[in-house]
C-alpha cells in the first residue's frame, strides 16, 4: 500500500466520538475538522524497514486514539510524505506545512536530514516532533533554544548504556578491544564514549583494531579479516543498518566471534534480521526504548506487540515506540492546553504544555525536557538464543532512564562523561 503523499483518515467523525465518549474534553470548535498530523518517514533504502516500523506504529496509535475520542474530541488524520535526502525532505516538509496545512509534523530518523529540516521548522513556525532525529552537530546541541522543534534523546544514549553494561558484565575480562563502527559522527562518537567509559571504570585494556566501514557496505570480509588478525577478546560495534546482519553473518562464518565478547548498542533496529544461526549468545544487545519481550510490560505494550506480531509476523523495534511517543506527547500537550483554556489551544499554548506532560509510551513512561529533548527508558542486556523465535532475546534485562545516559541541558557531553554519576 502506497502511503506517500496521501492523506489517510483514521476513525470516525468528531461528533460521533463526542457522543459516544462524553468524558472526553472536547471544545465545541474541535468538532468541525480533524487534527492533521504530517508524517515524514523513510520508505526505502537503508532505513526503509526502520521507517516502516514507525509508520505501522503511528497508524496503530491513531486508530487507538480515535476509538478513544481522538485528540481533545477531534479525530486524527495522518498525512504521509517520505524522508529521503535533506533537500527533498525539506521540500516535502514545506508541502505538509504550507499546502496540506497540517497541525504538526512528526517523524524523521536521520540526524543528517533532521539537521536540515529543523531550521526550516523554526523559520515557518511549524511544530515538529522528531521520532529519532536530533539537532546534534556531533555531540553538541546545535539548536539549544529551538522554539518549534522537539528532538529525540541524544544519539549517544545507547552507546553509553552498552559501555556501562560491558563493564558490569565483563569488567576486567576486557583486555584486547576492537571496534567496527560506521564511518560518520555517530559511529566515531559512540566508539570514543565506549573507550572513555572503560577508562573511567579502571578497565586496563588496549585497542588492537579500529575499522570504519562506510554505511551500507555489504562486503565486510576485509574488515573482518583485519579484526580477526588483531585477536581481540571484545568487539564494540554501533553498526545499525542492514550492514549489521551482514557483519554478524560474515563474521560468524569466518570464526571471528569464537572466544570473543561483543557489545551491539543499536542491534534492536535489525532484530528480525539477526538470526540465531549466526548470532553468538551473551552479547550486550541494545533495544533502545522498546524491548518487545519485556517481562513486566505495560498493558499498552502487550496489546501493541501482540497485534504487531500477529499482523506482520515480525517483532517491533524501538522506532515503533518513538513514533507512538511523538503522537502521544502531542496529544497530551494539546489536551492539557485545551483543558486550561476551555477552547482549542493556540500553537504556542500547545508547545508550552508539551514539556510538562509525562506520557505512557509503548516502552514505558517518557517526557520532553524544557529544552525539548526527550527522556525515555532504555533497555539492553545479555542476549540468549534460548527462545521460541529465530532471533535472540534478552537473558538479562537492564533498564536505564535517559537522564542517566545523556548530558543535561547546556552541558558538554565529554565533560559530562568525565563527571557524571553513572548507573554502574
- Of 28-32, 357-361, 391-395, the range with the lowest mean pLDDT is 28-32
| Same domain flag for 230 and 174 | yes
d(CA 189, CA 196): 10
Residue 304 three-state SS: helix
Tell me whether residue 162 is in a domain. Answer: yes
The CA angle 285-373-415, to the nearest 5 degrees, is: 75
Residue appearing with cell numbers 527462545: 387
- Of 31-35, 134-138, 160-164, 403-407, the range with the lowest mean pLDDT is 31-35
Residue 347 three-state SS: helix
| Same domain flag for 131 and 165 | no
Domain count, the chain: 2
| Same domain flag for 306 and 283 | no
Q: What is the 8-class DSSP label of residue 96? A: I
Reference 193, options 414, 398, 424; nearest CA is: 414
pLDDT on residue 32 = 63
| Same domain flag for 311 and 362 | yes
Tell me whether residue 174 is in a domain. Answer: yes
C-beta of residue 286 within 8 angstroms of C-beta of residue 267: yes
As a whole number, mean pLDDT of residues 49-64 equals 97
As a whole number, mean pLDDT of residues 373-402 equals 98
Q: With cut-offs at 50, 70 and 90, classify the pLDDT of residue 18.
A: very low
Tell me whether residue 349 is in a domain. Answer: yes
Helix (H) or strand (E) holding 255: none
As a whole number, mean pLDDT of residues 386-400 equals 98
Tell me whether residue 368 is in a domain. Answer: yes
pLDDT on residue 46 = 83
> In the predicted model, is pLDDT for residue 23 greater than 50?
no
- Provide φ and ψ at 10, rounded to 5°: -105, 130
| Same domain flag for 366 and 393 | no
pLDDT on residue 423 = 86
C-beta of residue 51 within 8 angstroms of C-beta of residue 323: no
> In the predicted model, is pLDDT for residue 307 greater than 70?
yes
As a whole number, mean pLDDT of residues 208-216 equals 95
| Same domain flag for 258 and 365 | no
Tell me whether residue 80 is in a domain. Answer: yes
- Beta-ladder partners of 39: 80, 106
Q: With cut-offs at 50, 70 and 90, classify the pLDDT of residue 14.
A: very low
Convert the pLDDT of each residue in 144-174 to its tens digit.
999 999 999 999 999 999 999 999 999 999 9
| Same domain flag for 161 and 282 | yes
Reference 242, options 262, 269, 263, 221; nearest CA is: 269
Q: What is the CATH number of the domain that holds 240?
A: 3.40.50.2300
Share the mean pLDDT of the chain.
93
Q: Which three cell numbers stand for residue 321?
A: 515506540
Q: Which three cell numbers stand for residue 17?
A: 466520538
Q: Largest Cα–Cα distance of the chain, in whole Å?
A: 70
Tell me whether residue 424 is in a domain. Answer: no
Predicted TM-score (pTM) of the model is: 0.92
| Same domain flag for 259 and 200 | yes
| Same domain flag for 307 and 262 | no
pLDDT on residue 12 = 30
Tell me whether residue 146 is in a domain. Answer: yes
d(CA 227, CA 118): 39
Convert the pLDDT of each residue in 236-263 to its tens digit.
999 999 999 999 999 999 999 999 999 9
| Same domain flag for 95 and 199 | no
Q: Which three cell numbers stand for residue 170?
A: 565483563
Convert the pLDDT of each residue in 89-137 to its tens digit.
999 999 999 999 999 999 999 999 999 999 999 999 999 999 999 999 9
C-beta of residue 110 within 8 angstroms of C-beta of residue 136: no
Convert the pLDDT of each residue in 328-343 to its tens digit.
999 999 999 999 999 9
> In the predicted model, is pLDDT for residue 30 greater than 50?
no
Query: In terms of residue numbers, what domain contains 181?
Result: 157-288+378-419
| Same domain flag for 171 and 56 | no
Q: Which three cell numbers stand for residue 361?
A: 509510551
Tell me whether residue 216 is in a domain. Answer: yes
Q: Which three cell numbers stand for residue 233?
A: 577478546
| Same domain flag for 88 and 196 | no
> In the predicted model, is pLDDT for residue 59 greater than 60?
yes
Amino acid at each position: 500500500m502506497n502511503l506517500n503523499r496521501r492523506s489517510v483518515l483514521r476513525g470516525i467523525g468528531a461528533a460521533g466520538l463526542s457522543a459516544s465518549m462524553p468524558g472526553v474534553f472536547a471544545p465545541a470548535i474541535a468538532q468541525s475538522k480533524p487534527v492533521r498530523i504530517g508524517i515524514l518517514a523513510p520508505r526505502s533504502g537503508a532505513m526503509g524497514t526502520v521507517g516502516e516500523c514507525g509508520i505501522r506504529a503511528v497508524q496503530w496509535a491513531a486508530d487507538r486514539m480515535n476509538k478513544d475520542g481522538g485528540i481533545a474530541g477531534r479525530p486524527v488524520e495522518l498525512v504521509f510524505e517520505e524522508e529521503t535526502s535533506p533537500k527533498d525532505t525539506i521540500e516535502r516538509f514545506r508541502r505538509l506545512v504550507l499546502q496540506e496545512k497540517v497541525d504538526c509534523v512528526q517523524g524523521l530518523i536521520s540526524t543528517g536530514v533532521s539537521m536540515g529540516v529543523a531550521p526550516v521548522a523554526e523559520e515557518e513556525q511549524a511544530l515538529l516532533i522528531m521520532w529519532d532525529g536530533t539537532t546534534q552537530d556531533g555531540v553538541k546541541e546545535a539548536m539549544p533554544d529551538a522554539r518549534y522543534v522537539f528532538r529525540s534523546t541524544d544519539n549517544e544514549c545507547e552507546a553509553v548504556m552498552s559501555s556501562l553494561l560491558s563493564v558490569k558484565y565483563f569488567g576486567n575480562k576486557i583486555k584486547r578491544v576492537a571496534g567496527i563502527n560506521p564511518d560518520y559522527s555517530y559511529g566515531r562518537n559512540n566508539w570514543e564514549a565506549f573507550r572513555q567509559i572503560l577508562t573511567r571504570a579502571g578497565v586496563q585494556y588496549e585497542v588492537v583494531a579500529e575499522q570504519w566501514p562506510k554505511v551500507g557496505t555489504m562486503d565486510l570480509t576485509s574488515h573482518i579479516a583485519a579484526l580477526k588478525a588483531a585477536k581481540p577478546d571484545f568487539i564494540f560495534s554501533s553498526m545499525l543498518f542492514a550492514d549489521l546482519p551482514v557483519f554478524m553473518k560474515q563474521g560468524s562464518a569466518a570464526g571471528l566471534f569464537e572466544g570473543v565478547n561483543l557489545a551491539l548498542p543499536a542491534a534492536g533496529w535489525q532484530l528480525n534480521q539477526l538470526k540465531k544461526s549466526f548470532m553468538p549468545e551473551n552479547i550486550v544487545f541494545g533495544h533502545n526504548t522498546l524491548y518487545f519481550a519485556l517481562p513486566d510490560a505495560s498493558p499498552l505494550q502487550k496489546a501493541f506487540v501482540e497485534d504487531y506480531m500477529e499482523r506482520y509476523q515480525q517483532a517491533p523495534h524501538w522506532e515503533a515506540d518513538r513514533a507512538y511517543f511523538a503522537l502521544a506527547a502531542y496529544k497530551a500537550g494539546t489536551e492539557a492546553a485545551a483543558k486550561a483554556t476551555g477552547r482549542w489551544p493556540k500553537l504556542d499554548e500547545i508547545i508550552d504544555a508539551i514539556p510538562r506532560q509525562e506520557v505512557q509510551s509503548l516502552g514505558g513512561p517518557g517526557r520532553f525536557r524544557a529544552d525539548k529533548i526527550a527522556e525515555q527508558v532504555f533497555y539492553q542486556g545479555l542476549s540468549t538464543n534460548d527462545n521460541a523465535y529465530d532471533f535472540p532475546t534478552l537473558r538479562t534485562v537492564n533498564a536505564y532512564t535517559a537522564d542517566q545516559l545523556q548530558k543535561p541541558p547546556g552541558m558538554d557531553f565529554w565533560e559530562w562523561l568525565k563527571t557524571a554519576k553513572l548507573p554502574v
